[in-house]
Structure 1
Amino acid sequence: MPKAIRVHEYGGPEVMRYEEVEVGAPGPGRIRVRQTAVGVNFIDIYFRSGLYKAPQLPFTPGNEGAGEVVAVGEGVSGLAVGDRVAYGSASGTYAEEVVVEARMAVKVPEGIDDATAAAMMLKGLTAQYLLRRTYPVKAGDTILFHAAAGGVGLIATQWAKHLGATVIGTVGSPDKAELARQNGCDHVILYRDEDFAARVKEITDGKGCAVVYDGVGQATYPASLDCLRPFGMFVSFGNASGVISDFNLALLGQKGSLYATRPTLFTHVADRATLEAMAEDLFGVVTSGAVTIPVHSRAPLADAVQVHRDLAGRQTTGATVLLP
Structure 2
Amino acid sequence: MDEYGPVENYRLVDVPEPSAGPGEVRIKVEYSGVRWGDVMNRRGTLVRPDPPFIVGLEVAGTVDEIGEGVTGYAVGDRVVSMVDEGGYAEYAVAPQHLLAKIDDDVALDKALAYFLNLRVAYMIVYPWAKVQEGETVLLHAASGGVGFLVLQILKRRFQNVTVIGVCSSEEKAAKLRAAGCDHVINRLTQDYVEEVTRIAGTKATGYSNAAQAGQGVDLSINGVSGPTIEGDMKVIRKRGRWLLFGRQAADRGATIDTHQINYDGITIMPFSIVAWFGQPEWEESLTFLNDWLAHEELNESMTWPLEEAAAAETAIENGKTVGKVVLKVARD
TM-score (norm 1): 0.91
Q: In structure 2, how many angstroms separate the alpha carbons of the residues matched to 1:252 and 1:79?
A: 51
Residue 133 of structure 2 aligns with which residue? 139
Shift of 1:317: 1.4
Out of 5, 9, 32, the position equivalent to 2:3 is 9
Out of 307, 310, 314, the position equivalent to 1:309 is 314
Q: In structure 2, how many angstroms separate the alpha carbons of the residues matched to 1:319 and 1:138?
A: 26
State the AA in 2 paired with 1:248: D
Would you say the 8 A contact 1:103–1:272 is kept in 2?
A: no
Residue 258 of structure 2 aligns with which residue? 249
Larger Rg: 2
State the AA in 1 paired with 2:258: L
Shift of 1:304: 0.8
Shift of 1:311: 1.4
Q: What secondary structure sits across from 2:146 in the alignment?
A: helix
Q: In structure 2, how many angstroms separate the alpha carbons of the residues matched to 1:148 and 1:135?
A: 16
Residue 282 of structure 1 aligns with which residue? 289
Q: In structure 2, how many angstroms separate the alpha carbons of the residues matched to 1:121 and 1:9?
A: 29
Residue 3 of structure 1 aligns with which residue? none
Residue 230 of structure 1 aligns with which residue? 238
Would you say the 8 A contact 1:32–1:97 is kept in 2?
A: yes
Residue 227 of structure 2 aligns with which residue? 219
Runs of 4+ aligned structure 1 residues displaced above 4 Å come to none
Alignment of 1:254-269 (within 5 A): 254=263, 256-268=264-276
Shift of 1:40: 0.5
Would you say the 8 A contact 1:66–1:87 is kept in 2?
A: yes
Residue 62 of structure 2 aligns with which residue? 68
TM-score (norm 2): 0.89
State the AA in 1 paired with 2:298: T
Residue 91 of structure 2 aligns with which residue? 97
Provide Cα deviations, 1:240-292, integer angstroms capped at 9, x if missing partner.
111455311334424x1101122112222x21654332111122123211x63
Q: What secondary structure sits across from 2:20 in the alignment?
A: coil
Residue 43 of structure 2 aligns with which residue? 49
Shift of 1:146: 0.6
Alignment of 1:18-33 (within 5 A): 18-33=12-27
Q: In structure 2, how many angstroms separate the alpha carbons of the residues matched to 1:227 and 1:89?
A: 37
Q: In structure 1, how many angstroms separate the alpha carbons of the residues matched to 2:261 and 2:115?
A: 32
With over 3 angstroms needed to count, the CA separation of the structure-2 counterparts of 1:144 and 1:321, relative to structure 1, is same
Root-mean-square deviation (Å) = 1.8
Provide Cα deviations, 1:199-225, integer angstroms capped at 9, x if missing partner.
223222442222111112113121112
Q: In structure 2, how many angstroms separate the alpha carbons of the residues matched to 1:194 and 1:86?
A: 39
| Corresponding position: 1:108 with 2:102 | yes
Q: In structure 2, how many angstroms separate the alpha carbons of the residues matched to 1:85 and 1:106?
A: 6
Structure 1, unmatched stretches of 5+, are: 1-6
Would you say the 8 A contact 2:123–2:282 is kept in 1?
A: no
Q: In structure 2, how many angstroms separate the alpha carbons of the residues matched to 1:274 and 1:95?
A: 31
Q: In structure 2, how many angstroms separate the alpha carbons of the residues matched to 1:110 and 1:262?
A: 37
Q: In structure 2, how many angstroms separate the alpha carbons of the residues matched to 1:284 and 1:91?
A: 29
Q: In structure 2, how many angstroms separate the alpha carbons of the residues matched to 1:294 and 1:237?
A: 24
Out of 182, 201, 214, the position equivalent to 1:186 is 182
With over 3 angstroms needed to count, the CA separation of the structure-2 counterparts of 1:273 and 1:180, relative to structure 1, is same
Would you say the 8 A contact 1:66–1:85 is kept in 2?
A: yes
Q: In structure 2, how many angstroms separate the alpha carbons of the residues matched to 1:252 and 1:100?
A: 43
Shift of 1:90: 4.1
With over 3 angstroms needed to count, the CA separation of the structure-2 counterparts of 1:64 and 1:251, relative to structure 1, is farther
Q: What secondary structure sits across from 1:286 in the alignment?
A: helix
Would you say the 8 A contact 1:65–1:119 is kept in 2?
A: no
State the AA in 2 paired with 1:138: Q
State the AA in 1 paired with 2:149: I
Out of 210, 213, 221, the position equivalent to 2:218 is 210
Q: In structure 1, how many angstroms separate the alpha carbons of the residues matched to 2:38 and 2:256?
A: 24
Residue 177 of structure 1 aligns with which residue? 173
How many residues were matched structurally? Answer: 314
State the AA in 1 paired with 2:220: V
**The 10-residue stretch of structure 1 (56-65 or 41-50) with the greater mean CA deviation from structure 2:** 56-65
With over 3 angstroms needed to count, the CA separation of the structure-2 counterparts of 1:208 and 1:38, relative to structure 1, is same
Q: In structure 1, how many angstroms separate the alpha carbons of the residues matched to 2:75 and 2:69?
A: 14
Structure 2, unmatched stretches of 5+, are: 203-214
With over 3 angstroms needed to count, the CA separation of the structure-2 counterparts of 1:32 and 1:179, relative to structure 1, is same
Shift of 1:110: 4.2
Percent same amino acid at aligned positions?
Answer: 29
**The 10-residue stretch of structure 1 (122-131 or 82-91) with the greater mean CA deviation from structure 2:** 82-91
Q: In structure 1, how many angstroms separate the alpha carbons of the residues matched to 2:83 and 2:294?
A: 22
